[in-house]
């Protein structure tokens, strides 16, 4: 078995050597720049900012001729793949927990890229705009409210035509930052929720269907009459799905939009930027928002990583928090507030290669 293993590794290495050779060849026709240009950066993680990232990286490829391959496999996946060093950067909407940071091979920095809101969206006849309180949302997702014409939903939506239809809860089947943000909010506002199922990227859901990614959840909700779920704002808007307005801490019903999201971000930020924005105190703030982060290793020299690759990754991150910000609004994400950019800059600058700062 050992010999087989060795043979397998040898063939793989041989093949990767061949492949490597090929890229070197193509590199020369790329112009003889002083430093070897990198052509590809690999990232994976959150689906929540995926529409924004896919726009950003498309622009980045046009401008800098560097292909950023971003796979939206969910925040859990992003963290996992970064930890096992299969990607250049990870992406997550949930800041990494202390245990996750401890479980990583070396320190990781969080760089926020934009602000997003998680909205409650549904599919019922006529799709009336509904109002909801935190209790109602929690009880629907706990499986305690099972019908659309439930007394409690009717009470605060007297004008809406609510059908006598079973509620099908749709949640994420993959480890997700969107789930984290949503459950973080529910855990803050409902003590029942806090004890079970609690908050996290994957939960032991008491009811409902699972779907993969924000894409999958919105797809399933669109397909299933009577369903309700939570997705990032952009997914709901792009697919013309109805959005519930939520009662925030100050007792105001707020719809998720750029202003109410930005309002929620107006808090003091810790240096590592791991912060929860849910259930905001801001009177006009939407209660379920969050930063979404790119994650990179603080010390970029690991394994066989080249300085060029490290530099390319850091340059990309720097570009995202500056030039990239202007693309956020069009896709319904709130750009970072000035305070957050300053803090993010400090974080990017703290990244080193061989103990030398990269920027």
Task: Name which of residues 71 to 90 contact other proteins (CB under 8 A).
Answer: 71, 73-81, 83-87
Give, rounded to a whole angstrom, the gap between the first and last alpha carbons of the chain.
47
Shortest spacing between CB 283 and other proteins, in angstroms: 32
Q: How many of the other CB atoms lie within 10 Å of CB of 276?
A: 18
Q: Closest approach of Cβ 245 to other proteins, in Å?
A: 21
Stretch that binds other proteins, among 61-69, 251-259, 313-321, 339-347 (CB under 8 A): 61-69
Torsion from C-alpha of 226, 231, 236, 237, nearest 10 degrees: 160
Report if residue 112 touches other proteins, rule: CB under 8 A.
no
For 233, phi and psi rounded to 5 degrees?
-45, -50
Contact 352, 299 (CB under 8 A): yes
8-27: contacts with other proteins (CB under 8 A)? 8-9, 12, 15-16, 18-20, 22-23
Do the strands 89-92 and 289-297 form a parallel or antiparallel pair, or are they unpaired?
antiparallel
What residues from 204 to 263 belong to the interface with other proteins (CB under 8 A)? 204-213, 215-216, 218-226, 235, 238-239
Backbone angles phi, psi at 285, to 5 degrees: -80, 145
Please tell me the count of residues contacting other proteins according to CB under 8 A: 80
Cβ at position 291, least distance to other proteins in Å: 20
Give the nearest distance from C-beta 266 to other proteins in angstroms: 29
Is there binding between residue 139 and other proteins (CB under 8 A)? Answer: no
CB of 153 to other proteins, least distance (A): 17
CB of 271 to other proteins, least distance (A): 24
Q: Which of 277, 299, 301, 272 is nearest to 287 (CA)?
A: 277
242, 210 contact by CB (below 8 A): no
> Which span sits near other proteins by CB under 8 A: 28-36, 165-173, 263-271, 307-315?
165-173
Concatenating the DSSP letter of every residue in 104-139 gives SSS-EEEEEEEEEEEEEEEE-TT-PPPEE-HHHHHH
Helix (H, G, I), strand (E, B) or coil at 324: helix
Decide: 278 and 184 in contact? Cβ < 8 Å: yes
Nearest CB to other proteins, comparing residues 192 and 266: 192
Rg (CA), the chain: 22
Read out DSSP for 309-321? HHHHHHHHHHHHH
Residue 150 binds other proteins (CB under 8 A): no
Q: Are 69 and 41 in contact (CB under 8 A)?
A: yes
Among 94, 124, 203, 277, the residue binding other proteins under the rule CB under 8 A is 203
Q: Judged by CB, which is closer to other proteins: 102, or 151? A: 102
Q: Could you say whether residue 98 binds other proteins (CB under 8 A)?
A: no
Q: How far is the CB of 69 from other proteins (least distance, A)?
A: 5
| Shortest distance (Å) from residue 55 CB to other proteins | 5
Of 133, 173, 265, 325, which lies in the binding site for other proteins, with binding defined by CB under 8 A?
173
Give residue 65's region: left, alpha or beta (phi > 0; psi -120 to 50): left
Q: Should residue 122 be labelled a site residue for other proteins when binding is judged by CB under 8 A? A: no
Q: How far is the CB of 115 from other proteins (least distance, A)?
A: 19
Q: Which stretch binds other proteins (CB under 8 A): 154-162, 198-206, 244-252, 263-271?
A: 198-206
- Alpha carbons within 13 angstroms on the beta-carbon side of residue 335 total 15
User: Residues 264-303 vs other proteins: string with x where CB under 8 A?
Assistant: ---------------------------------------x
């Amino acid at each position: 078995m050992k010999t087989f293993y060795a043979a397998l590794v040898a063939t793989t290495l041989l093949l990767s050597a061949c492949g490597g050779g090929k890229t070197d060849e193509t590199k020369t026709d790329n112009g003889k720049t002083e430093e070897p240009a990198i052509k590809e950066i690999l990232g994976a993680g959150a689906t929540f900012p995926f529409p924004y990232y896919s726009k950003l990286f498309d622009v980045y490829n046009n401008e800098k001729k560097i292909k950023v391959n971003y796979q939206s496999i969910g925040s859990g996946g992003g963290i996992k793949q970064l930890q096992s060093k299969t990607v250049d950067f990870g992406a997550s909407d949930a800041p990494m927990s202390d245990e996750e940071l401890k479980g990583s091979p070396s320190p990781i920095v969080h760089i926020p890229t934009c602000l997003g809101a998680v909205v409650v969206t549904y599919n019922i006849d006529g799709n009336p705009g509904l109002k909801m309180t935190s209790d109602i949302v929690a009880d629907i997702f706990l499986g305690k409210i099972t019908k659309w014409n439930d007394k409690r939903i009717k009470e605060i939506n007297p004008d809406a035509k609510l059908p006598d239809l079973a509620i099908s809860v749709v949640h994420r089947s993959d480890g997700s930052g969107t789930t984290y943000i949503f459950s973080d909010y529910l855990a803050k506002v409902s003590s029942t929720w806090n004890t079970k199922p609690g908050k996290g990227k994957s939960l032991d859901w008491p009811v409902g269907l699972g779907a993969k990614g924000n894409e999958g959840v919105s797809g399933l909700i669109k397909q299933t009459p009577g369903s309700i779920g939570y997705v990032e704002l952009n997914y709901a808007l792009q697919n013309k799905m109805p959005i519930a307005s939520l009662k925030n801490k100050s007792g105001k019903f707020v719809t998720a939009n750029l202003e109410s999201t930005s309002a929620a971000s107006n808090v003091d930020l810790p240096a590592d930027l791991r912060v929860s924005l849910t259930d905001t105190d801001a009177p006009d703030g939407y209660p379920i928002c969050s930063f979404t982060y790119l994650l990179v290793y603080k010390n970029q020299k690991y394994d066989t990583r080249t300085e060029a690759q490290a530099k390319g990754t850091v340059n990309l991150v720097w570009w995202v928090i500056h030039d990239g910000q202007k693309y956020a609004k069009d896709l319904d994400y709130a750009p970072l507030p000035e305070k957050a950019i300053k803090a993010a800059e400090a974080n990017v600058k703290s990244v080193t290669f061989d103990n030398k700062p990269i920027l």
